[in-house]
Every structure is written in structure tokens, then in C-alpha cells.
Structure 1
């Protein structure tokens, strides 16, 4: 993760069902669905003004850290999150075994 993002927090917005990450006044987010201790990550979106800065990657990493800290598992349906976990296989440790593409990670 880039140094500029380390001190920034991800917020779990339970009203809008999304993890939010505010950078320079812009909000990047991951939509989620919570089912007990399982978190379905559905869609990641980062404003065009933040493109190319690694914001989505930092958001994904911080979201996975939050999920792990709360002893939950993840179902990475979002293609960006799936690709991130595939590229960083240590995160497979929190992927729920019921995830349909688990064996492709």
C-alpha cells in the first residue's frame, strides 16, 4: 500500500452497505452484503479523479484487514477484489470455503 494511504481509515457504512475510503474529499467504496460472519464483496468503485493512484487497491486491502479483524470471511464476487486476492494469495486465508470460485484463487 502506498505511504499516503496508510494513515487513512476505511469506514464500514452499514446504512448504505459499503466500505468507504475518503481520499482528497472523494469517496471510493466497495458494496457489500453481510450474511452472519460472511461478507460478500460485490462491487468496487473509485472516482475518476483518483484514477491511477492506487486508491482501489488500498481500499481493498484495508477492507480485507477489517474483515479479518472482525473474524469474518469474505466472498470476493467483485472482479477487482477477486483479482487482488489471486495476486496476493495470503489473503485466501479469509475467503469463505463456500465461495464458488474458491479453487480459482
Structure 2
């Protein structure tokens, strides 16, 4: 599914939040924790089986990277999926902590 068709919602809380794509097959989400004002830790990506392999996870991580760049924040990709995306995108090194 092309990225332009995916609506990514952002939910922010005091200590963390999530990015989510809602579909009829379930929610694809990546959650994060905050460590201070300038660093987030991507701690989990969850994908319904019906959505696996269709690019939803990559869209979520790309959105987080774009948002953190815009906010001058750094990312610790603790989640194995997020870490693998960072290895595939050396151009994201500017947001790595």
C-alpha cells in the first residue's frame, strides 16, 4: 500500500506515546518512551499478522524519524524492528542517540 494512503496518528503522553495506523485488520503501532526533553526510545512495534510485510512498520518508523528531526530530538531504537530499519537507512544517523 502506498504511503500516501496510510494515515498515521500520533498519541502523546507524559512519559511516552505511540504512532498508529488504524485499519480494518487492526492497528499497526510503534510505541516510545521519553527520556528527558530531547530523547525518545522506540520500544515496541506491533503489527497484526494480516498487515505484516506490507510496509506499515516502515511507514511508522519513517514518520517518527521525520518528526524527531523536525523537533531536534534523538532516537534510541531499542525495538528490534526499529533497529533494523535504522541499519537499512544510514541517512537517519543524524537522529540516532
TM-score of the superposition, structure 2-length normalised? 0.82
In structure 1, stretches of 5+ residues that fail to align are: 97-105
Checking the alignment, whether the CA contact within 8 Å between 1:18 and 1:29 is kept in structure 2 is: no
In structure 2, stretches of 5+ residues that fail to align are: none
Per-residue CA deviation, residues 29-59 of structure 1 (Å, 9 max, x unaligned), is 1221101210011111111121221111111
Per-residue deviation, 1:15: 6.4
Checking the alignment, whether the CA contact within 8 Å between 2:41 and 2:78 is kept in structure 1 is: yes
CA distance in 2, matches of 1:34, 1:54: 25
- Hey, what does 2:27 align to over in structure 1? 27
TM-score of the superposition, structure 1-length normalised? 0.76
Alpha-carbon RMSD: 2.0
Quick check: which one's strand share is greater? 2
List, as ranges, runs of 4+ consecutive aligned residues in structure 1 with deviation greater than 4 Å: none
Checking the alignment, whether the CA contact within 8 Å between 2:28 and 2:57 is kept in structure 1 is: yes
